Chains A and B, each alone.
Chain A
Amino acid sequence: MYRRELITGPNFSGRSRALRTLLREPDFALRSFFVGPYAEAALSGLSSTLSDEIAIYRDEDATASRPVFWPVDFAALADRKPQTLSGGEQILLALHCFSQSKYRAIAIDTALEQLDGKNRALALDYLGGSREPEFNVALIDNRIDALPSWSRREQRAEGSAYAGDLSALTGELVPHRAGAIVIHNLHFGYRRGRTIFQGANATLEPGVAHRLQGPNGAGKTTLLKILVGVLSPASGRILLNGVRYEPARSGNRAIALAAQNPDHQWCGATLREDISRRRSALAGRAAAPLPSDERIVSLSRALGFPSLDLHLYELPLAARKRLSWLWPFSGALPWIMLDEPTIGQDRETRLKLADAIRRLCSLGYGIIVVTHDDDFAAEISHRTLAIEAMQIRTS
């Protein structure tokens, strides 16, 4: 009889610690496969290609006795570097590796929250949704309170070191009319990789939230990277407020991005250093006045962080994710892009985040949210931008 354990509870209630305690129980498994929330904790870090990553974990005996989880054609991606996959694809690769390994247990810490609806359903089914798996499973997932025939371990919050007041996030913001973003005939493809956009068009209006949707690996994060200037389109034009906008050439001065992995956005070791560099980057070029020190301190407190001098990388991941919203919600830039903002966040935080987004929309900011969380998206009145067949379809 194999065990299926769901660990629930609010943020900072010790769920990850409980997961590790469970993994040390002798009857759970001697060794477990671990899928952490982000790539460095999901993939081995020892391989240069996908085929090597799979080969490190593959055990011929296990492959014969266990069904292989194969949601993506990994054979076609064999030469790709694992870190060039999208966040969701990396999680799927980790599950694929586990399914071919000798491990008799798997522990997943909020990683499934990055998967699109179809892949999430496939993953949960593989882990024992509809049939008895031949391995133990321990799962933390903020979007699941209970699963049939799974045991549940509930962690209770006993006063958090990161208690804030998220409802105060947008309290001091003033109305700000952002310009519309028009994407015209956008073409983009990765060198020696897939074509992501082929003549894509879209118009993004301020004052309304846009939900960017698409399966894992469709190009959602790629679009955000093009809009902030990290990637340069092969051809096509982007207009901001009717004027040509080329962030790859002139630098980003319009869009505040909260990345899917918060560690992809820090430009300093502490929050103070990070904010100071963001300010200096915009000095003399910002469309609106930059947020004052008082505003930054008050935002930091609202997010649960009393000091700007905390070392960012020493904070728990859920806390870093929350802090990644600080700059976008400071009102420094007219457009706000949130890439999977709900990953690792409990229900209460998600609801308050939805509140903040609604308020930002009402103030005239432009909002783009990438999320696979339908419940969260339902909390916000939004337009859908779906990436399908290398086009952006608006509905």
Chain B
Amino acid sequence: MPQAKITPNGAVAFALMLIGATMATGKHGLSIVAVLGIAFATLEVRAGTVTALKRSLVLVLPLAAFMLLVWVVIVGRAPADIAAGSVGSRDTALLYVALICTRLFLVVFLIQLIVACFANSTPLRFIGALRVPMTVKRLLMFTLSLVETFRHAIDRAYTALIACGLISRRRSVRNFVNGWVLVQTVWLTAITIVLGRLRDKWPIEDTLGLLDHALRPTARSLSCRDLVWLPIAVVATIAAVAAR
């Protein structure tokens, strides 16, 4: 019996196809990707779409502002104009910035949609469900483990420096001046945490060996929802690339 919800495999394949199309197409193709992204958000992600949208805007807007400042306000020409040695205009520069930022926004938004789609799952379950070689799964788990280690190290370093009075929670010049100590302490802490694991816990337990068991897939690779979305994504990708 096929599953009702989209699976991690279907969602990742769907996102990868659309991201590929986003990178390969022009402004007309981007509208095809955007329409399909919105349809996916409405039908599959629903309430999580707002969060995905907010996160995408937070990530992309600062870059968009920076690019506007550089290309439109300061340079006043698009890179293609400069390469061709033509005079160019702020309009072509604006079009260039809009195209780049829309592309980036769509890529981030698609990734955020997949994250929102599986918000009720856990990283272990999500990665475990993927039909990829075990080495890839292990690498994904290591990457997440490193990210968590750094977040933990930041928290620890922050605690240490506030407790000793070197920095405080409030934004201040003092914090800025001692920022490099925070960075040094974070690195030192992260290295210590990793060494602690490598020296004691992991070799005694062979903890990494447990991942093979924990990451084995327990559900079907694809669901009927996947079989709806994937052909649509294929068609949209072809259409977007053709519309370039």
- A residues with CB within 8 A of B: 20, 23, 31-34, 36, 38, 40-49, 51-52, 55-59, 81, 83, 103, 107, 225, 228-230, 232, 247-253, 257, 259, 263-267, 269, 277-278, 280-282, 285, 313, 327
Contacts and interface: CB of A to CB of B under 8 A. Distances in A.
Q: Which of B148, B191, B196 has the most CB of A within 10 A?
A: B196
Given A45-B145, A46-B211, A264-B159, 20 more contacts: A31-B206, A32-B204, A44-B210, A46-B145, A47-B148, A49-B124, A52-B124, A55-B214, A230-B158, A230-B169, A232-B169, A248-B170, A252-B162, A266-B160, A267-B161, A277-B181, A278-B164, A281-B166, A313-B188, A313-B192
Nearest to A231: B169
Given A41-B197, A45-B197, A81 B148 contact: yes
Given A52-B123, A55-B214, A252 B196 contact: no
B92 to A, nearest CB: 45
Looking at chain B, what size class is its interface with the partner chain? 35 or more
Contacts of A281: 164-166
Contacts of B184: 269
10 contacts: A32-B205, A36-B200, A45-B197, A46-B208, A51-B122, A52-B125, A55-B122, A250-B170, A267-B185, A327-B164
A34 B164 contact: no
A41 B200 contact: yes
Given A33-B205, A36-B196, A52-B122, A249 B160 contact: no
Contacts of B156: 263-264
A366 to B, nearest CB: 16
Contact of A225 (B148, B159, B193, B210): B159
Given A45-B145, A52-B122, A267 B164 contact: yes
Interface string B126-167: 000000000000000110110011001001101111111111
Contacts of B206: 31
Interface in B196-231: 196-197, 200-201, 204-208, 210-211, 213-214
Given A33-B205, A46-B211, A48-B148, A253 B197 contact: no
A281 to B, nearest CB: 4
Given A34-B200, A41-B196, A83-B148, A247 B168 contact: yes
Interface in B165-186: 165-170, 174, 181, 184-185
Contacts of A327: 164
A253 B205 CA distance: 43
A36 B201 contact: yes
Nearest to B209: A31
Contacts of B122: 48-49, 51-52, 55
A215 B129 CA distance: 38
B210 to A, nearest CB: 5
Contact of B169 (A38, A229, A269): A229
A252 B169 contact: no
Contacts of A230: 158-159, 162-163, 169
Contacts of B152: 83
A248 B181 CA distance: 19
Interface of B: 122-125, 141-142, 144-145, 148-149, 152, 155-156, 158-170, 174, 181, 184-185, 188-189, 191-193, 195-197, 200-201, 204-208, 210-211, 213-214
Nearest to B159: A230
Contacts of B145: 45-47
B164 A277 contact: yes
B187 to A, nearest CB: 10
B213 A59 contact: yes
Contacts of B205: 31-34, 103
Contacts of B167: 251
A44 B207 contact: yes
B212 to A, nearest CB: 11
Nearest to B142: A46
Contacts of A313: 188, 191-192, 195
Nearest to B120: A79
A36 to B, nearest CB: 5
Q: Which of A44, A107, A269 has the most CB of B within 10 A?
A: A44
Nearest to B148: A48
A125 to B, nearest CB: 23
A248 B169 contact: yes
A268 B142 CA distance: 28
Contacts of A264: 156, 159-160
